[in-house]
Structure 1
Amino acid sequence: MIEIQGLTKQYGQVRAVDDLTFNVQPGLVTGFLGPNGSGKSTTIRAIVGLDAPTSGTALIDGRRYRDLHRPLTEVGALLDAKAVHPNRSAANHLRWLAQSNGLPVRRVDEVLELVGLTEVAGKKAGSFSLGMGQRLGLAAALLGDPKALVLDEPVNGLDPEGIRWVRGLLKALAAEGRTILISSHLLSEMALTADRLVVIGRGKLVADTTTEEFIREHSVSTVMLRIDRAGEFALRLRALGIDPVESRDTAGRGILEISGSTTDEIGELAFNEGFQIRELTVRHASLEDAFMDSTGGAVQYQAHGRSGHQEEK
């Protein structure tokens, strides 16, 4: 288990992480989300011993990273896939990592095969594409067959097949009882991968819950209704305190979008009032909707207008 307790990190006048507390449980894939500048990278660096907390603790199975005797066997980390000597081959990069932690050399071949790099094991890492570099970074994280994984943007640069492979791998590792913390800006992929979410903004905890609960609590589903005499039905809805958004399809038929209601409620109301329904569907809330709703006030840089100029908040 990864335990973050009262973690605070101060850089001069900037408090990157502010009294942050959460646990990453074994047997689950935990997504770590937050806007740019929210403190995600600082928190991850504290977990793997690259940043010393100003106060608080970041522990792996009750120990600090620097106190682990052979850290690669306890926690595998991917923070920057480009942090590899460009003139060193993929195999040699993994061999020196293995030797530094007393791991058998055969493990190098095993992880190269696992991530699909066996055929390019002898090539220089500097010649790798972004996706290949990510696979090498994942191989390094898995080298010690660790009980915990901390991965920052692990699918960056991967093609759809590679993204799907990473998703399946992480779920399989979690099913073995391992502890997995994954940070990503690809919210659609996180919705498919993560069992739980830890969301932070401006260094503070915003949410620590299951993915389903987070989406349900921070967003609203929308009912889409295609109906005859849409304007009349819209007036009826407003009289009941429901405010639909009106539009028309390409054929000129009226469409109403209604937030905060269910298809059963709207369908029953339309039927009882004698309106002819042509289509009644629901657009379920997405993780992106929930994320924007919960972190909108914690965005450090926000674009305005067409110019794309940003204003620091």
Structure 2
Amino acid sequence: MIEVAGLTKHFGRVHAVEDLSFTVKPGVVTGFLGPNGAGKSTTMRMILGLDRPTAGTAVINGVRYADMKNPLREVGALLDAKATHPNRSARAHLQWIAESNGIPKTRVDEVLGLVGLSEVAGKRAGGFSLGMGQRLGLATALLGDPGVLLLDEPVNGLDPEGIRWVRSFLKSLAAEGRSVLVSSHMLSEMALTADDLVVIGRGRLIAETTTYDFVKNSSQASVLVRTENLPEFEQVLREEQIDFRQETDPEGRTVLVIDNQTTDYIGSLAFSTGILLHQLSERKASLEDAFIAMTGDTVQYRTDVPGA
């Protein structure tokens, strides 16, 4: 279990993390989300003792990382997939870490097999693609068979098959009772992978909840309507004081998007006014919708999109 309490980190006048508290429980995958510059990497570094907090504490199973006698056997981390010597082979990279931490050499081939690198174990890490480097980073994190894992963007550079493999792999690790904290900008993937979420913005906690509840409470489903009597139905909606907006579907047709309503109600309204609908469907809320709704005010760098 990871427990963060009042964690704060200031770099001069920059408040990277501010009074942050959350818990990563065993047996689940916890997604760590936030816009660029939100403080995710800094928080992970403080949990691992790489950055000293300005205030607050971060403990793993009740102990600070710096106080652990055999840290690799308790905590595995992947913060930078490129943190390998380019001239060492994948096997040699893992062997020196194993030997320096009292981990049996047999474990090296085990983790290489787990991450699918057995066939390239003798090749230099400097020649690896980013995806292969991510797999080697995961192997390093798993070397001590730890009960806690911290992974920063572990699917970067992976192809769809690799991303799917990581998803299943992380779920299987959590199912063994491990605590898994994983950050990612791939929100669609986090929706499929994470059981719980910790969402931060500008270094502060925005939400700590289950993925299901975050989506449910932070965004809303919409009713999609398409009709040849568009002006007439828009007037009906205005008379009923129902908000709507127009969007264009992939086929270039105008669709009305109506929030906070049900298909039953909108369908009955159209029927009662004699307006024929060619489409009446529901668009369910997504993690991306919820994330944008909850973190929109905390984005550090914005891009103005024409027409937005």
Q: Which bracket does the TM-score occupy, shorter chain normalised?
A: over 0.9
Aligned-pair CA distance for 1:271:
2.1
TM, length-normalised to structure 1: 0.94
Deviation at 1:276, TM superposition (A): 2.1
Residue 193 of structure 1 corresponds to 193
Q: CA deviation at 1:250?
A: 9.1
> Which position in structure 2 is the counterpart of 1:41?
41
Q: Which residue of 1 aligns with 2:232?
A: 232
1:137 aligned counterpart, secondary structure: helix
In the alignment, which residue of structure 1 is the partner of 2:27?
Answer: 27
Supply the distance in 1 between the matched residues of 2:142 and 2:10 (Cα, whole angstroms): 31
Shift in Å at residue 55 of structure 1? Answer: 1.0
Instruction: Please show how residues 156-305 of structure 1 align to structure 2 within 5 Å.
Output: 156-246=156-246, 255-304=255-304
Deviation at 1:152, TM superposition (A): 0.1
> Is residue 2:144 matched to residue 1:144?
yes
Q: Which residue of 1 aligns with 2:91?
A: 91
Where structure 2 has 5 or more consecutive residues not aligned to the other structure, the ranges are none
288-297 vs 15-24, greater mean Cα deviation: 288-297
SS in 1 for 2:10: strand
Deviation of residue 71 (structure 1)?
0.8
**Post-superposition offset of 1:256:** 2.1
The CA deviation string for residues 228-276 of structure 1, in whole angstroms up to 9 with x for no partner, is: 4232122111111102224677999763221121112211222233322
Q: What letter is aligned with 1:148?
A: V
Q: 1:228 touches 1:254 (CA, 8 Å); kept in 2?
A: no
Q: Secondary structure at the match of 1:293?
A: helix
Is the Cα–Cα contact under 8 Å of residues 77 and 150 in structure 1 kept in the other structure? yes
Task: Quote the Cα distance in structure 2 between the aligned partners of 1:255 and 1:124.
Answer: 54
**1:10-51 deviations in Å (ceiling 9; x for gaps):** 111111110000000111100001111111011000111101
113-122 or 214-223, which moves further after superposition?
Answer: 214-223
Equivalent-residue separation in structure 2 for 1:6 and 1:59 (angstroms): 12
Aligned-residue offset at 1:84: 0.4
Does the 8 Å contact 1:29/1:171 carry over to 2? yes
Compute the TM-score of the two structures, normalised by the length of structure 2.
Answer: 0.95
Q: Which is further off, 147-156 or 246-255?
A: 246-255
RMSD value over aligned CA atoms?
1.7
> Structure 1 stretches of 5 or more lacking a match?
307-313
User: Could you tell me which amino acid in structure 1 is paired with residue 287 of structure 2?
Assistant: L
